Structure formats: C-alpha cells, structure tokens
C-alpha cells in the first residue's frame, strides 16, 4: 500500500508546478502551461504564504520551484508563448519542511533575485549573473546582520521598480520583521528597518503584505505569543505611502517605530484559543 501511495505522489507531482494557471493583465483569460516535475510530498511548492514563486518583468515571466530531488529550478518564458526554458540550479533546499519556500523577484535591470530554504536559518540568497538570465551566482549575504535566523522571506516590487525584501528575524513567538531595500544603481541591499514590527522578545507578527496600484504598501498581521498556533490573536494593520520608510494607521496617523503590540492599530480583536490561522 505504501509503495502504491508513493507512486501516486510521484504521478501527482504535476500539481505543484507543472500545471500553471496564468491570468492576463485583465484577469479574464486563463492559460495552462506545462512546466516540469516538482516536489509534491508536502506543500513547500504551494504554501499560501509564499511570495513570489511566479513573477513577470517586461516580456518575460519567471517561475521557481523545487524539483523531485529538492533542487531549486528556475524557469523563463515569453509572455506571448507557452514554452518554458528551465534551468536546474546547483542549490537544494530542505524540502521536507514546508516552511522552506522559494521567493523570487526581478529588479529594474532585469536581474532575478532568489531566496530559498529559510526556517530559522542563515540567509540563503543569490542573484542571476546577467539580466534576463537563469544562471545564479554564488550565495551571498545581503548586509550580514540579522541574517542568521531567517524565516518567511518575500520580495515586494514597487511601481517604481524598486525592490523590498521582508523576513522574520527570530523564531515563532519571539521575532521581529526586518525590511531591506535594493539600491538598483549601486546593485546592493541596504537596511530600511531592522525591526519594523517588534515582538519585544515575547511574541512575533505573522504578516501579509500587498502593494496597491498607487504604490501604497499594506501590512496586516496577527500576533503569536508562543510556538503553538493556538496563541495567535488579534489582527493589526499598517500602511506606507513612501516605499516603506514611514508607516501609518488607517486614519493617517503616523506610527512611532518599531510597531509594538501596545501601539498597533487593530482591525479586529480576536482572543487566543479562537482558531485564528496565520
């Protein structure tokens, strides 16, 4: 029976990365494109908190996923076509832990930035050697500080084309939200906030982010007091109109940074032990 289930899992690998649903700019048409076999023994290729494993820049679209052996695979296609050009990198991830998602984004100059395999671990980050390329360079630090316990990495692209990089520094129940900004002219990362949302060593924020058409960055989050999900509580909010430098509440009142449990604006007050999922 176990062998039969394993065969079914292998057959089902297409579910994670092979059958891709792609919306056009108006969200009216859906295309199915075949990419390749991906790891499908858990949700590491499909977790809901992952940002982003699929992104477009200019005439190209890019994808990233773990293959059946746990290697990071990068793909590129013309938006006008269906054929993917794939490149299996030399990098692997601990795919048995679904936290270790891949996040990608393309900068103004066309370089692809990739972060992967992060769960309370040292930063794993690389950039392609050339614009519009799938060939990654060596792993490197961004700044070298607060990069030893990274989780939930995500790139955001602003309407200006500038990139931000968000991640949790610390662990479940005791972590802070860090924000980096990419200087495309200098081709290097700089620190915007070492501690945008402060867990005060007693909790951490599980956030969701979005950039709207005007360039406003929206953050919502729940707090977690300990490692258990049952300790999740409340739903807080903050936004930024200047690319992540300053932050406000929904009424326009500015935050004194870092944002703490006692100073956050709450969209909803939800007690612990109320099945709140981060």
Helix (H) / strand (E) element for 63: namely strand 60-66
What separation in angstroms does the CA of 91 have from each of 65, 136, 155?
11, 9, 19
- Output the CA torsion sign for 78, 215, 235, 171: positive
- pLDDT of the residue at 8: 31
Q: What span, in angstroms and rounded, lies between the C-alpha atoms of 203 and 199? A: 5
Which 3 state secondary structure label does DSSP give 174?
strand
- pLDDT of the residue at 260: 98
75 strand-pairing partners: 63, 86
> What residues contact 176, with CB distance under 8 A and at least 6 apart?
168, 169, 170, 194, 195, 196, 197, 198, 199, 204, 258
Determine whether domain 38-268 maps to CATH 2.120.10.
yes
- pLDDT of the residue at 30: 65
Question: What's the whole-model pTM score?
Answer: 0.89
Q: CA-based angle 28:30:33, to the nearest 5?
A: 155
Tens digit of pLDDT per residue, the chain (278 long)? 444 334 333 333 333 333 344 344 445 466 788 899 999 999 999 998 988 999 999 999 999 999 999 999 999 999 999 999 999 999 999 999 999 999 999 999 999 999 999 999 999 999 999 999 999 999 999 999 999 999 999 999 999 999 999 999 999 999 999 999 999 999 999 999 999 999 999 999 999 999 999 999 999 999 999 999 999 999 999 999 999 999 999 999 999 999 999 999 999 999 999 999 98
Cβ atoms of 133 and 112 within 8 Å: the answer is yes
Cis previous bond, 12, omega within 30: no
Which 3 state secondary structure label does DSSP give 235?
strand
CB atoms < 10 A from the CB of 159, how many?
12
Which 3 state secondary structure label does DSSP give 130?
coil
- pLDDT of the residue at 6: 42
- pLDDT of the residue at 252: 98
- pLDDT of the residue at 32: 82
| Closest among 160, 200, 205 to 181, alpha carbons compared | 160
CB atoms < 10 A from the CB of 13, how many?
18
> What residues contact 241, with CB distance under 8 A and at least 6 apart?
215, 216, 248
């Amino acid at each position: 029976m176990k062998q039969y289930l394993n065969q079914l899992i292998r057959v089902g690998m297409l579910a994670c990365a092979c059958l891709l649903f792609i919306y056009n700019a108006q969200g009216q048409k859906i295309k199915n494109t075949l990419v390749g076999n991906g790891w499908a023994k858990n949700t590491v290729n499909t977790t809901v908190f992952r940002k982003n494993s699929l992104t477009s820049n200019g005439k190209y679209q890019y994808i990233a996923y773990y293959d059946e052996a746990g290697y990071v695979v990068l793909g590129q296609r013309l938006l006008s076509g269906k054929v993917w050009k794939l490149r299996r990198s030399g990098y692997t991830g601990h795919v048995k832990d679904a936290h270790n998602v891949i996040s990608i984004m393309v900068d103004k100059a066309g370089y692809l930035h990739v972060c992967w395999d992060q769960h309370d671990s040292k930063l794993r980050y690389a950039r392609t050697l050339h614009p519009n390329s799938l060939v990654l360079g060596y792993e490197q630090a961004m700044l070298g500080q607060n990069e030893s316990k990274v989780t939930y990495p995500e790139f955001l692209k602003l309407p200006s084309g500038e990139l931000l990089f968000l991640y949790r520094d610390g662990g479940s129940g005791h972590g802070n939200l860090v924000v980096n900004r990419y200087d495309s002219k200098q081709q290097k990362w700089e620190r915007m906030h070492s501690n945008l949302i402060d867990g005060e060593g007693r909790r951490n924020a599980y956030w969701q982010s979005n950039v709207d058409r005007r360039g406003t960055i929206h953050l919502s989050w729940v707090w977690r007091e300990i490692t258990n999900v049952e300790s999740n509580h409340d739903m807080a909010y903050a936004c930024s109109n200047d690319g992540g430098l300053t932050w406000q509440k929904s009424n326009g009142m500015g935050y004194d940074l870092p944002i703490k449990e006692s100073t956050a604006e709450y969209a909803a007050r939800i007690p612990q032990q109320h099945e709140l999922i981060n």
